[in-house]
Structure 1
């Protein structure tokens, strides 16, 4: 069976005891954890390191820092990014993680600057994915950006083409919520990219905000049937990809909801 993970986003990257209890009380099979490697919470780094022995018996994947990748070379922002990414690489080995996902960029940008930002994003991606590969890190690159944030740097075709430029060892990670916000055809994207996709962030939203609802939330943009169709495409075309439930800490992701979603995901993705 493929690896299933629960993102620490659902506990605002800090209530790790609740997360541990949610996983402990799921009796069906072991569920792993995706840890963020940076956040603005006070004492975040110290608290994160304390989780290494707590969760060492579970599969672990990491999320690279939430910092701007499209920096000006030599700038303080680039130096900060370097520091945070180097820390994340150390954490990868400390956690004995199975993979780490990184973004193409983080923030908004002027429309006329799109070509320059895409070129810089590719430059940074090539640099850091090669460094990670050299360190034995399994790295994936995630689709990010959405219209309301004015941060759509890569459309669907551009995102697919990006992987022609990256080393073959670099996997793709599809965030279903980000794809919904940009009205991408997710099953078609999965069919096209196939086994280059190594992982997914599974979440739903309201169609406009990156709200990270549970995948079957009744207020979600994608219906129950549409989510099932996405999961069937995942099962058929990317049988080895790992799945991360990446839900927001807004009260929707209760323990019963998380447990129910995990069971439904496994029921569909293991049925083909």
Structure 2
């Protein structure tokens, strides 16, 4: 089990807080909120003595929308991401299928699939895996790929891995234990954050209504090598680290119980 912290709460000039990360904790960065030289400087400040051992990159999700037929710059943006990720030996790159979208869903899904295939071809040049994240929210009418379509997409793109965003899935009323079981080894990482089933709040675990014991039991049983990325918003570093410690202990208890069974 690998554990990482997303820099979502530390966008802007708050990166000095990330110097407090213990060596055992990985980091996931939103690359589009900087550039190559910016992130080189940030990572060298966070890791002055060694390269990060568990770094992942969140691909562009504001400046890029794979569902938008007028988005003609997505490949150029992703090429920058891949070049940076390769330089820093990133474990994987997270890709959103879409943000908002318009038009016939079938047509838009085909467009997204084609563009993901282009990104997979690009990824081969850099030997970095792409993970497709489940995005879109039913209450906001931005859900292009529900569970059935998301699974079909993964089956059509066998070289891609899956990243399960637990908060998104919960809002969309997906059966999390069943989904984790079906994904199995395809589930390379999870974004962990809590909510009350209505809005994408990115709360620390335990501040919403997700049943984390059930979820961790499912991960331990079906995808024990999954990287757990804590993707909180609006928390300070002490709150994030404390939550991670409590959650890690809870996860280990679930793992021990499953091993005993």
- TM-score (norm: length of structure 2): 0.88
SS of corresponding position for 1:78: coil
**Residue aligning to 2:14:** 15
**Residue aligning to 1:34:** 28
Distance 1:239 1:16 in 2: 30
Q: How does 1:134-149 map to 2 (within 5 A)?
A: 134-149=125-140
Q: How does 1:86-105 map to 2 (within 5 A)?
A: 86-105=79-98
Q: 1:113 to 1:13 in 2, by over 3 A?
A: farther
The equivalent position to 1:85 in structure 2, one of 60, 78, 84, is 78
- Structure 1 unmatched runs, 5+: none
Distance 1:78 1:268 in 2: 46
The equivalent position to 1:158 in structure 2, one of 149, 153, 178, is 149
Matched, 1:171 2:168: no
Q: 1:263 to 1:13 in 2, by over 3 A?
A: farther
Q: How does 1:184-199 map to 2 (within 5 A)?
A: 184-199=174-189
1:234, CA displacement in angstroms?
0.5
SS of corresponding position for 2:250: helix
- Structure 2 unmatched runs, 5+: none
Q: Which moved more, 1:253-262 or 1:30-39?
A: 253-262
Given that 1:10 and 1:253 are in contact with CA atoms closer than 8 Å, whether structure 2 keeps it comes out as no
Equivalent pairs, count: 250
Matched, 1:51 2:42: yes
Distance 1:150 1:69 in 2: 17
Q: Which moved more, 1:237-246 or 1:4-13?
A: 4-13
Given that 1:52 and 1:95 are in contact with CA atoms closer than 8 Å, whether structure 2 keeps it comes out as no
Given that 1:174 and 1:199 are in contact with CA atoms closer than 8 Å, whether structure 2 keeps it comes out as yes
Distance 1:253 1:151 in 2: 31
Residues 155-201 of structure 1 deviation map (CA, whole Å, 9 limit, x = unaligned)? 111111111110x3211110000001100000000111211111111
1:250, CA displacement in angstroms?
4.8
Distance 1:71 1:57 in 2: 34
1:57, CA displacement in angstroms?
3.8
